[in-house]
C-alpha cells in the first residue's frame, strides 16, 4: 500500500517539476522566436521569482499578525498566493527594465547578434 502512495507522490512531483521546466522552455522559445535573442538570463529571472516567492512567504508574511482572528486565518491561507503575485510583478518589472534599458537600445544601435548574446551572458552573470 505504501509503495502505491509513494509512486503516486513521485508522479505528481514529476508532473509539477516538468511543468515548471516546460514553462521556462516556452518562455525562452517565445523570446528567441520573436526577438531573435537567445536570452541566457531567462533562467535567472525565473530564479529571482522563485526566490522572492520563498522569501515573501517564509520571512515576511509568516511574521505578520494582526490579532484579528478571521484576518489571521485568511492570511495564513492566502500568503503563498500573495507571495506568488508580488514576486511575479517584481520579476516582470526586472525583465522589462532590462528590455527597455539594455536590449532595445542595443537593437536600435543595430548591434550584432553576438553583442546581444554577450550582453545576455553578462546579465546572467551579474
Sorted by sequence, the CB contacts under 8 Å of residue 87 that are 6+ apart come out as: 48, 49, 50, 52, 53, 56
Domain range list for the chain: 1-35, 39-125
CA distance 87 to 67: 26
Distances 22 to 14, 25, 35, 55, 120 between C-alpha atoms, Å: 12, 5, 20, 24, 21
Residue 39 has a pLDDT of 84
Residue 65 has a pLDDT of 65
The conformation of residue 36, written as its DSSP 8-state character, comes to: -
| Low-confidence residues in the chain, pLDDT < 70 | 1, 65-67
Q: Which residue is it, cell 534599458?
A: 101
Q: What is the pTM of this model?
A: 0.75
Amino acid at each position: 500500500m505504501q509503495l502505491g502512495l509513494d509512486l503516486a507522490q513521485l508522479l505528481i512531483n514529476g508532473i509539477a517539476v516538468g511543468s515548471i521546466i516546460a514553462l521556462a522552455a516556452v518562455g525562452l522559445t517565445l523570446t528567441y522566436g520573436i526577438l531573435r535573442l537567445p536570452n541566457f538570463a531567462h533562467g535567472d529571472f525565473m530564479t529571482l521569482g522563485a526566490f522572492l516567492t520563498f522569501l515573501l512567504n517564509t520571512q515576511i508574511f509568516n511574521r505578520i499578525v494582526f490579532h484579528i482572528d478571521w484576518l489571521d486565518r485568511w492570511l495564513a491561507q492566502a500568503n503563498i498566493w500573495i507571495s506568488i503575485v508580488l514576486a511575479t510583478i517584481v520579476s516582470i518589472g526586472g525583465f522589462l527594465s532590462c528590455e527597455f534599458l539594455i536590449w532595445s537600445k542595443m537593437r536600435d544601435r543595430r548591434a550584432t547578434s553576438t553583442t546581444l548574446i554577450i550582453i545576455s551572458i553578462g546579465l546572467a552573470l551579474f
